[in-house]
Amino acid sequence: MSENTTSSQKLRVLLGVSGGIAAYKSADLVRRLKERDFIVRVVMTEASTHFITPMTMQAVSANPVHLDLFDQEAEAAMGHIELAKWADIILVAPATANTIAKINQGLADNLLTTLVLASKAQLVIAPAMNQQMWTNTTTISNVEGLRQKGTLVFGPDAGEQACGDVGAGRMMEPLMIADEMLRLSATSFERQELRENKLILNGLNVMITAGPTVEAIDPVRFISNHSSGKMGYALAEVASDLGAMVTLVSGPVNLCAPNGVSVKPVTSAKEMMATVQQHIGNCELFIGCAAVADYTPIKVAKHKIKKNEENMNVELVKNPDIISWVAAQKQRPIVVGFAAESQNLSEFAINKLSKKKLDLICANNISQEELGFNSENNEIFILDKSGKEVHLPAASKSNIAKSILEHIYQQFLIK
């Protein structure tokens, strides 16, 4: 946040529009942001002007549009350094593969990339490109590089693209981006306070698993569960804000990567296990929050199974027990598990803690409406080896995450 901005003031968004067909959505995005009380200025790359005119963007933003790094008239009104200082958030939408690569490499060859490099504002990108470009290893590396530097990534969505391809790469819809920006602004000052004043996990290497796993039956069918990943993502976000170096191993979810967190996307339990084993390295705290499928099909059909019989039998085999493997390591981190139960909450949680040799377990009752799976809130009971129980009353998952991490700090990390 800029020095002169307070939580009672409107946040200033510098919208960077780069040159992709999704630039046509940028005018609607400006309108959506203004509806949510953001002040918006627009910077356009030369390529973006082939898709939408500066006059359109000026009309919807009610501010002059900034185009040229060497525009003397613009420099006299608001130089690029002043513009970089003005912004509370820089949002690049659409963010093309080319612009993402330039920003990650620290290039400053146009006004937009120069402003990004010269600003301390929170950077947010909304990627938009052909599905093959999005899955290219270079793009993946560039996006991961930006995430490691604290950039937030909104999207992309999947679906039919302008070129006729189908897949991930569509820019997230303006309404969704605006809502994400509103959520970001609502917590930005709280996050700043955490970063500046409460670095209780400063430098701690933390690994968190989140979301469901998906176990394929055939190319179109699978076994999974209702986990949204929101609890694990909240833990990762708060841990990062508290100064930790966080690796988030995530099953398939519809959530944006938390700020400053290294996200390792996986699909199945076996992939999650392999990724945990690969990156566990110097991990000092492991939190197993993922809802890992207990079983997986022994055989995955190569082609779609046709609906010929009234009954279909699928033979299953147990999946690897990820958290037990972590807890069994000779040089192990602090290991915290989760128990999602619908009955006998404390009994089942204590049994799981003992059987898997965990240090702590967080138990929640999934039968309660508006709590647990797919909800914004949770209620947790933290249990340790001695049987001591700490109740965290129903609250937002972000607040629950803070309480869990503070409890871990007090019990295991305080010196």
State the Cα angle at 342 between 337 and 343, rounded to 5°: 100
Contact, 121 vs 155, CB < 8 A?
Answer: no
Tell me the sheet residues that pair with 408.
none
Contact, 266 vs 272, CB < 8 A?
Answer: yes
* Residue 214 DSSP code: -
Neighbouring C-alpha atoms within 13 Å toward the C-beta of 347: 3
Question: Which residue of the set 163, 283, 289, 362 is catalytic?
Answer: 163
Residue 232 has φ and ψ, to the nearest 5°, of -65, -40
Helix (H) or strand (E) holding 236: helix 230-241
Residue 314 has φ and ψ, to the nearest 5°, of -120, 120
Give the pair of three-digit tokens for residue 245: 């170096």
CA of 26: how far to CAs of 31, 44, 57, 61, 365, in Å? 9, 10, 8, 10, 43
Active site (annotated) includes residue 163 = yes
Query: Could you check whether the bond before residue 94 is cis, i.e. omega within 30 degrees of 0?
Result: yes
Which residue bears the tokens 């993502």? Answer: 233
Which residue bears the tokens 């699978």? Answer: 222
Which residue bears the tokens 């500066």? Answer: 54
Q: Rounded to whole angstroms, how far apart are CA atoms 166 and 360?
A: 44
Residue 368 has φ and ψ, to the nearest 5°, of -80, 130
State the Cα angle at 143 between 227 and 37, rounded to 5°: 75
- Active-site annotation, residues: 163
